[in-house]
């Protein structure tokens, strides 16, 4: 369990991005018109971009030793 709010926010951002990706994939499969395809394409692209940035930031915190310092013992 993390105790530093900045690390908790990163975890929540990763979870949000994963939810965005899942919703975009489901929405795209169930779309009924081209507008929905555009919407879910944007959502999918944004989810992957957000996930990439959040994972890189998590890794940066790990590399600096901040992440382990944030774990409640």
Q: What backbone phi and psi angles, to 5 degrees, belong to 31?
A: -65, 155
Evaluated on CA atoms 64, 69, 71, 73, the torsion sign reads positive
> What is residue 72's predicted lDDT score, i.e. its pLDDT?
62
- pLDDT, one tens digit per residue, over 17-72 is 999 999 999 999 999 999 999 999 999 999 999 999 999 999 999 999 888 766 66
Q: Characterise 65 by phi-psi region: left (phi > 0), alpha (psi -120 to 50), beta (else).
A: left
> What is residue 71's predicted lDDT score, i.e. its pLDDT?
67
HSE (CB half, 13 Å, CA atoms) of 60?
A: 9
> What is residue 66's predicted lDDT score, i.e. its pLDDT?
84
> What is residue 2's predicted lDDT score, i.e. its pLDDT?
83
> What is residue 53's predicted lDDT score, i.e. its pLDDT?
98
Question: How far is Cα 51 from Cα 63, in angstroms, rounded to an integer?
Answer: 18
């Amino acid at each position: 369990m993390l105790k530093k709010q900045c690390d908790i926010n990163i975890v929540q951002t990763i979870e949000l991005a994963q939810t965005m990706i899942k919703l975009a994939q489901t929405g795209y499969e169930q779309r009924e018109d081209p507008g929905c395809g555009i919407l879910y394409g944007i959502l999918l692209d944004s989810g992957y971009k957000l996930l990439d940035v959040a994972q890189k930031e998590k890794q940066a915190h790990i590399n600096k030793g901040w992440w382990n310092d944030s774990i409640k013992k």
